[in-house]
Amino acid sequence: MNNSRSESYAAAGVDITAGYKAVELMKAHIKRTKNEGCLDDVGGFGGCFGLPTGMEEPVLVSGTDGCGTKVKLAILMDKHDTIGIDAVAMCVNDIICTGAKPLFFLDYIACGKNYPEKIATIVGGVAEGCVQSGAALIGGETAEHPGLMPLEDYDLAGFAVGIVDKKKMIDNTQVKAGDVIVALPSTGVHSNGFSLVRKVFDIENTDINRTYEELGGKTLGETLLTPTRIYVKPVLALLEAVKVKGISHITGGGFYENIPRSIPDGFGAKIDKSAVKILPIFSLIQKEGNISERDMFNTFNMGVGMSIVVSKEDADKALEILKANGEDAYLIGEIIESDEKVIL
């Protein structure tokens, strides 16, 4: 029987050849991330990785996350080379809070249409994040979703696995009153709070190339798109030299939701608000959106991307090691006996 309707995957909006081309283009980026654990090349059904030896009780630590609606800004700016750094950062900065060293990373890109060069550029950013954190990019997936997403849109998420010897895991049980809180500066908004940021600036309808004096002459777009800082290597160096009692990655929920994660019950973080080096972008967001101070500290990192708890006697050494590893770290408070977790 002759059927005049010719159905195919291509007719349904999925370009298989574009997928092949994207993989070829991204191979050079992936090659940069190879480390001693990699066992195969990209393209198999599963990414294979050999576990390191020498640990008494190795524990695998995993983390998965995306970049939230920051992706929308990358799409509006048609700048896709750094959003992958954000995807890696959101995962590896989480797992380093346990003391785990990242081993490998996998990415997932959902798109309306596979434009090979754009996909490869996104993966180039993922590879850069992997290089910064010492993780290998051992696999990933690009999925076309015609009819579900507009052609130019995409979303990006990732998954990281790290390893730590059980006896060296950070679990906050040794935190006590008198310990100090070290701040690691952020590079900006990082990858949280962008739904509010987009509303405050009406991003879709504003000139994102407008410069602001408060931002040092930078445009709003480039300031907001600044990639999330990856803290893995400085923190690993710190763990080798100092007893770290707790680490918090300051993401969605800001100070109030994240710092308590590194503090046991019965204790709280007394933060010296005047010591916090608030970045200009947050002052601008607060002013433009008429947002209360508490809501700002409960939504954004405010200039502190990570907080670390160490003994007071280790404070100077911790600051010295972090600064030697590129972090302009400083003290923002101390641990006190308290039922209130965060006191600003």
Q: What is the pTM of this model?
A: 0.94
Residue 2's pLDDT band, with cuts at 50, 70 and 90, is very low
What is the residue extent of each domain of the chain? Answer: 16-168, 180-343
Residue 7's pLDDT band, with cuts at 50, 70 and 90, is low
Q: Do domains 16-168 and 180-343 have the same CATH topology?
A: no
- Model pLDDT for residues 102-147, shown as the tens digit of each residue: 999 999 999 999 999 999 999 999 999 999 999 999 999 999 999 9
Query: What percent of the chain has pLDDT above 90?
Result: 85
Between 5 and 180, name the one with better pLDDT: 180
- Model pLDDT for residues 252-292, shown as the tens digit of each residue: 999 999 999 999 999 999 999 999 999 999 999 999 999 99
Residue 10's pLDDT band, with cuts at 50, 70 and 90, is confident
For the cut 90, the answer to whether the pLDDT of residue 99 exceeds it is yes
Query: What is the average pLDDT score of the chain?
Result: 94
3.40.50.300, 3.40.50.620, 3.90.650.10, 3.40.50.800: CATH of 180-343: 3.90.650.10
Confidence (pLDDT) at 4:
47
**Lowest mean pLDDT across 10-24, 63-77, 204-218:** 10-24
Secondary structure (H, E, C), the chain: CCCCCCCCCCCCCCCHHHHHHHHHHHHHHHHCCCCCCECCCCCCCCCCECCCCCCCCEEEEEEEEECCCHHHHHHHHCCCCCHHHHHHHHHHHHHHHHCCEEEEEEEEEEECCCCHHHHHHHHHHHHHHHHHHCCEEEEEEEEECECCECCCCEEEEEEEEEEEEHHHCCCCCCCCCCCEEEEEECCCCCCCCHHHHHHHHCHHHCCCCCECHHHCCCEHHHHHHCCCCCCHHHHHHHHHHCCEEEEEECCCCHHHHHHHHHCCCCEEEEECHHHCCCCHHHHHHHHHHCCCHHHHHCCCCCCEEEEEEECHHHHHHHHHHHHHCCCCCEEEEEEEECCCCEEC
User: Looking at the domain 16-168, which fold is it?
Assistant: 60s Ribosomal Protein L30; Chain: A; (3.30.1330)
